[in-house]
Structure 1
Amino acid sequence: MVIHISEHGQNIVYRPIRPSDREALEAMHAALFPIRYEPEFFLNVVNGHDIVSWAAVDRSRPDGNDDEIIGFVTVRVMIATENEIGDILGYGSSRTNQTLVYILTLGVAEQYRNLGIASSLVQEVIKYASSLPECKAVYLHVIDYNESAILFYKKMNFRCLRRLPSFYYINSQHFDAYLYVYYVNGGRSPQSALDFVVAVTTYLRGIFTSWATRLWKREQKIPGWSKCKKATSFFNLNRMIKSTNNRGCQHV
């Protein structure tokens, strides 16, 4: 159990979701999301069947409902090799024991927003994921028009990995989604083809520049070269280096 005192004096406590929270949890999901969740989902949440969850409650409420949830987050631990997202994140091939934590739902009651509750709930998820040695990332999907959620995850240092066309189908209409990820336990972003080309080009450019510098120094030491010869050699080397730089830019 984690206790947090908000700037407005609320005594916010974070605890696991319990079976007694089911009714309030269903009501909050219905109010907050355009997607309707099946009863089985809520049964799995409140009973901890393959879903880990946290609730936020306000212990300072004067109406006697100081254990009623005002915010929640639900997550599932996924085996990277059993999920196509593992391939996108770069963890779905070699090591079969790697896992990912997927944020299923996150919500806060309207009257308790902008108090840091959502941030605290996500921090609980990150701490949980970090405690799993084989977990490499926390990830989630955000519908493309939810600008406030997109801004929130950016502030939480989640990285937008890609846009997924027609990911959601709501009210007979398709919507794109953004895939956001937060890496833990040494996890890192998969290297794109462009990143590889840039790295190789930079490496080759460094080798050529080093070779050209050594060649120029050797020429400086050779007696009997005319000034014209030296000037021509220096000009050619510069031209060769500039040509290599241009080719590098074209690769990028």
Structure 2
Amino acid sequence: MTTEAQQPTQTEQSSPQQKNIRLSESYPPNSTNNSQYLAEVHEVIKNIDLSTLDFNEKITIREINPLGKDIDQLKVLYKEWFPLNYDDTFWNKVSKQQVEGYVAELDLTSESLDKYIVGAVVFYEKEANRQDLGFCLEYFFNKLQTIYIQTIGVINELRQYKIGTKLLDKVKDIAQRRKNIKYISLHMVEYNQSGETFYLKNGFYKVRTIFNLFKLEERFYNFFYFCFYVNGGSNPHQNFWMKVLQKIRELFRKLAAFIKSLY
């Protein structure tokens, strides 16, 4: 399995003390390898009344700092979020900014604590795939690209504060400002039902299912392929069905006109 398959961790609201449970829905059903929190931020948050915090003020979306403590924090969080051992190759790309990344940082310095990463997204540009786009004249004049979301995750305790949506909105904003980008794409494992809801709610199309794409914990799983279209890009399957719908409507109009002519 490549690191490209790791997608948002929509998780169960579970206590870290419980055993044999999944804290992240990115892990396979019945997995026993994801039952404990590892990052320091969980212990910190456990002792704070979150209802007293202004998250618009406390949460900052910023670029990953490859020279600071970000990488160390992310390495621990990725072990919680994803059923894959991210190796030095991946982290070297992040550190050398060969891929792009943003974090959601919770600032608790006013509570005499520290700043903690509570969410992150990593992505990169690659050439667009023609089968992912409807007819586009720009194909003949420009090299069209997609932004591929490699990873995105948020800690369980803060999911209700729409941090995942804010990270996704950041990627959308970047894509819209790069006019050669026609869509944002990603893979998500089929059993992650809350992840599917999350993407559909945020305007992504489930373009297709890829069977037995990657192996997780000794078993192959199907993955959904999602796209979000920008800058004039369009879903080829949506275009097809829109055309079918238009044809059906046209036939009904003609039938109605014919029936009317009989009276």
TM-score, length-scaled by structure 2: 0.68
Matched, 1:88 2:131: yes
What's the CA shift for 1:171? 1.9
- Contact preservation (8 Å) 1:18, 1:47: no
- Higher-Rg member (1/2): 1
What's the CA shift for 1:197? 4.8
Unaligned runs of 5+ in 2: 1-50
**Corresponding residue of 1:114:** 160
Q: What is the one-letter code of the residue matched to 2:219?
A: Q
> Comparing 86-95 with 56-65, which one deviates more in the overlay?
86-95
**Corresponding residue of 1:229:** none
Matched, 1:133 2:176: no
Q: What is the one-letter code of the residue matched to 1:125?
A: V
What SS does structure 1 have at the residue aligned with 2:85? coil
What's the CA shift for 1:122? 0.5
Aligned residues: 204
Matched, 1:42 2:88: no
- Contact preservation (8 Å) 2:134, 2:234: no
Matched, 1:144 2:190: yes
Matched, 1:55 2:103: yes
Unaligned runs of 5+ in 1: 1-5, 81-85, 217-233, 236-252
Matched, 1:9 2:54: yes
Among candidates 55, 79, 83, match of residue 30 of structure 1: 79
List structure 1 segments (4+ residues) > 4 angstroms apart after TM superposition.
191-210
**In structure 2, C-alpha distance between the alignment counterparts of 1:57 and 1:132, rounded to whole Å:** 25
- Contact preservation (8 Å) 1:57, 1:70: yes
Q: Deviations over 1:183-224 (max 9, x none)?
A: 1112111146655555456556767877x69xx6xxxxxxxx
Matched, 1:104 2:118: no
What's the CA shift for 1:65? 2.1
Matched, 1:182 2:235: no
What SS does structure 2 have at the residue aligned with 1:31? helix
**Larger relative CO (CA 8 A, sep 6+): 1 or 2?**
2
What does 1:147-162 correspond to in 2, within 5 Å? 147-162=193-208
> Comparing 88-97 with 145-154, which one deviates more in the overlay?
88-97
**In structure 1, C-alpha distance between the alignment counterparts of 2:240 and 2:63, rounded to whole Å:** 42
- Contact preservation (8 Å) 1:74, 1:105: yes
**In structure 2, C-alpha distance between the alignment counterparts of 1:130 and 1:104, rounded to whole Å:** 18
Q: What is the one-letter code of the residue matched to 1:131?
A: R
What SS does structure 1 have at the residue aligned with 2:175? helix
What SS does structure 2 have at the residue aligned with 1:114? helix
Q: Which has the higher helix share?
A: 1
How has the CA–CA distance of structure 1 residues 37 and 130 changed in structure 2, closer, same or farther, with 3 Å as cutoff?
same
**In structure 2, C-alpha distance between the alignment counterparts of 1:197 and 1:115, rounded to whole Å:** 40
What SS does structure 2 have at the residue aligned with 1:113? helix
What SS does structure 1 have at the residue aligned with 2:236? coil
How has the CA–CA distance of structure 1 residues 110 and 208 changed in structure 2, closer, same or farther, with 3 Å as cutoff?
closer
Q: Deviations over 1:117-150 (max 9, x none)?
A: 1111110000000010111111111111111111
**In structure 1, C-alpha distance between the alignment counterparts of 2:127 and 2:236, rounded to whole Å:** 17
- Contact preservation (8 Å) 2:126, 2:146: yes
> Comparing 195-204 with 137-146, which one deviates more in the overlay?
195-204
What's the CA shift for 1:172? 2.1
Among candidates 65, 83, 87, match of residue 18 of structure 1: 65
TM-score, length-scaled by structure 1: 0.71
